[in-house]
A and B are shown apart, each in its own frame.
Chain A
C-alpha cells in the first residue's frame, strides 16, 4: 500500500521528538514531511530579518537534530520529504540577507536533508515576475538558484522539488511560480538531462492548485513520474487554509468543492508510488488538545482511503 505521511509542524516538537514520533505512528502514518521551514519563518524573512538558527555549524545542526533522527529510525517513521525555509530570495532585502539565504540556509538545508536520509527537498521558486516583467525571467532566477544547489543534490542523491505556489493581489490569490505543468515538465527534464541525474522533481500542492482553479487531473497527468512529492490539504478556494480533504462544500448538495476524484484518477493513471503526504498542520491547531490525536488519525485514514482508490483495491 502507498505510504501515508504528515508534516512535522504542530505534531513533533523539538523538545520531545519521542512523543511526537510515537503520536505519528499511533495515528497510522509511516512517513513525515520535515518542516525545516519552522526554524526560519517566512514572516521573519518577509520582514527582512533573520534569526541565528542557521548560524550553527553543520555539526551543531546535526547534533541539534540527533534525537529527531534517532526516533525516526526507532519508530520506523521515515523522513520522506522536507521543506526548505522560504522564500529563498526577498525582494527589497539587503544583498547580505539574500546571499545568506542561498549560501548558508539553502546549503545547510541540503546537508540536513542528507543527514536525515531524506531524498526529497521542497524548494519554492522565486517570486519575481512583477519586478522582472515575466514568468520566464522569474524562472531564470529560480533556475540559477537550483543550479547552485544541483551538484550538491546530485552528490547527495537528493531530488529538489519545485512546488506550485501562489502570489496575490490584495487577498485574491493568483498563480505564482510553477503553476504551468507543461513548462514545469520541460524544465525538470532539461535540468535532469544537464546533470545526468534526477536532481529536480515536482511537489504538487493540492491546496494551492485549488486556489487558482488548476485542473488536478490534467496537471498531474502532464507531470507524470516527475511528480515526487505531495502536499495534500483542502481549502475553500479562496484562502490557503490547509484543512482536511473533503471539508469544503459550496452548494446545498454538500458535495466536495475540491476535485478529489480528479486527484485520485490522475495518481492512479500515472501509477504514483511515492508518499501521500498531508500538509495539514493548521488542522491540529484548530482542534481542541483532547481531540488532536483523533484528528491526526482521521487524516491518516483519509490517506488510506486515497491509497486504496489509487491502487484500486
Chain B
C-alpha cells in the first residue's frame, strides 16, 4: 500500500519549496498533484480573464524543480475541476482541452494514476453516461503509456446548497461505467478513486461501495468533514457529538475485505490552511502518522502472520473481541493480565496467566497488548525483557458482540 500526501493547502504555487519540504520532512515519499492548486475552479469559471497560462506554466516549472530536488514522486494527479455551484454550462470543452494537455505532462513526470472527475455541470440526467463516455474516451486517447490509469471519482451535486449524491456515487453505476470504458479501450485503462469525504457527506455505506467496486478501486482519497460541508479536514478532527463524524469502521472494513493494496492519499487541505505555517511541519508529521495508522488497521492481519505463535496481554473486552474475530485462525497460546485474582482461570478459551509467564516465551512469539493502556503495558513488557511487542486494537473489527463485558473490579 502506498501512502501519499496531497499538495493542496500545503504547497503554494508561487513559492512551492517550503510546502514540498514539509511534506518530505514528514516522511512522505509520494504526492498527489492536485492541479486545481494551479488552475482552480474560480479561475476556470472566468477563465477568459482570470486564467493566465503563462503564469501557470512558470509556477508549475517551479513545482517540478522543487519535487525533483526533494526526490518526491508524483504518483497520482487530480485534473482541474469546476466548483459544485458553477452556473456556466459551457466549460466542459475547456476541461477536456486542459485534461488532454495535462495528461501529456503528467505522463512525462511518471504519474501513473490520473483522477478525472466525471462531468456533471450542464449535463442532463439522461445524458450522463453518453457525455462522460465520450469525454473519458477522448482523454484515454492521450494516454501513451500502457500503465497510465484514469480514475473516475464519486461526486456530489448541489441541490440549492445541499450536497447530495451525484455522478458515480452509486457504486453499481460506477462499476458499469468503468467496465464499459475498459471494454471500449480493450485494456484496464480505467479504475476508481473513492473520495471518503464525499461518501461521508452523503452518509454512504463505504463498505458496500468498496466491496462492490472491488479491484477497480485504485485510490482512496481520505479526508474528514462534519458530514454536511465539503471540507478536507485531518482525519479524526471532526466530532459529531459523541463520535467521529466519519464512519471509519465502514471504510476499513471495506478495504480489508478487498485486501486493498493501492494508494491511500491524505487530503487535509483545509486543516493545513487553518494552521500557521510555523506549525505545519508538526501537522504534516501527524498526518503521516494517521496514514500509517490507517495502513496498519487495514493490514491488521499481516502483523498476526509475522509470528509462529502469539500471546495476548489483557483478559477483558479487547481480548474477547480478538478471540471473536481472529481467535480461530490465530489462536493464542494463552493470555495474561495484571489482575492476580484471575490467574489460572479461563477466559474465552484461553488460560489467564501471570505476566511473569511471558519471560519463558520462545523468541518467535509475538505478545499482543489487548488493553487501551498500551504505553503503560508496553513499558511493563519491556521491563520483563519482551521484544516482540505488538498492539491490537478493536475499534474497527469485522464484527462485534452486541454487549460489552462489565469491567472487572
Contacts and interface: CB of A to CB of B under 8 A. Distances in A.
A37 to B, nearest CB: 23
20 contacts: A130-B249, A130-B400, A133-B253, A134-B207, A134-B208, A169-B244, A172-B243, A174-B203, A175-B204, A179-B205, A210-B162, A211-B203, A213-B164, A213-B203, A238-B227, A250-B162, A251-B161, A255-B160, A258-B159, A259-B164
A169 B208 CA distance: 17
Given A133-B399, A172-B245, A215-B165, A253 B203 contact: no
A179 B250 CA distance: 15
B54 interface: no
A166 B160 contact: no
Given A132-B399, A213-B202, A180 B160 contact: no
B92 interface: no
B239 interface: yes
A155 interface: no
B268 to A, nearest CB: 18
A169 B398 contact: no
Interface residues on B, range: 35 or more
Nearest to A136: B208
Contacts of A215: 164-166, 170
Contact of A135 (B203, B208, B246): B208
Nearest to A128: B402
Contacts of B205: 129, 135, 174-175, 179-180
B159 A257 contact: yes
Contacts of B246: 169, 172
Given A130-B249, A172-B226, A257 B243 contact: no
A182 interface: yes
Contact of B247 (A133, A169, A250): A169
Given A135-B205, A255-B160, A173 B400 contact: no
A214 interface: yes
A61 interface: no
A180 B170 CA distance: 9
Given A169-B240, A172-B245, A213-B156, A131 B164 contact: no
Nearest to B254: A134
Interface string A172-190: 1111000110100000000
Contacts of A212: 202-204
Contacts of B253: 133-134
A170 interface: yes
Contacts of A175: 203-205
B165 A170 contact: no
Contacts of A59: none
B240 A172 contact: yes
Nearest to B208: A135
A194 interface: no
B276 interface: no
A171 interface: yes
B11 interface: no
B229 to A, nearest CB: 10
A157 interface: no
Most chain A beta carbons < 10 A, residue from B203, B243, B244: B203
A211 B250 CA distance: 18
A238 B200 CA distance: 12
Contacts of B228: 237-238
A9 to B, nearest CB: 25
Contacts of A213: 156, 162-165, 169, 201-204
Contact size range, A: 35 or more
B403 interface: yes
Given A134-B253, A213-B163, A257-B162, 20 more contacts: A92-B402, A166-B203, A169-B247, A170-B239, A170-B243, A171-B242, A179-B205, A180-B205, A210-B164, A212-B202, A213-B202, A213-B204, A214-B164, A215-B164, A215-B166, A217-B125, A249-B161, A250-B160, A256-B160, A257-B160
A289 B302 CA distance: 63
A131 B245 contact: no
B203 A257 contact: no
Interface in A204-252: 210-215, 217-218, 237-238, 249-251
Interface in B217-254: 226-228, 239-247, 249-250, 253
Given A171-B240, A172-B240, A131 B401 contact: yes
Question: What 4 pairs across the A-B complex have the smallest Cβ distances?
Answer: A250-B161, A170-B240, A212-B203, A213-B202
Interface string B150-183: 0000001001111111100110100000000000
Nearest to B163: A213
A251 B160 CA distance: 7
Nearest to B402: A91
Which of A91, A131, A169, A249: most chain B Cβ within 10 A? A169
Contacts of B243: 169-170, 172
A112 B161 CA distance: 43
B163 to A, nearest CB: 7
Contacts of B172: 182
A180 B164 contact: no
Contacts of B241: 170-171
Nearest to A218: B170
Contacts of B226: 172
Contacts of A172: 200, 203, 226-227, 240, 243, 245-246
Interface string B375-409: 00000000000000000000000111111000000
B214 to A, nearest CB: 15
Contacts of A251: 160-161
Contacts of A170: 239-245
A267 to B, nearest CB: 16
Contacts of B164: 210, 213-215, 259
A129 B202 CA distance: 18
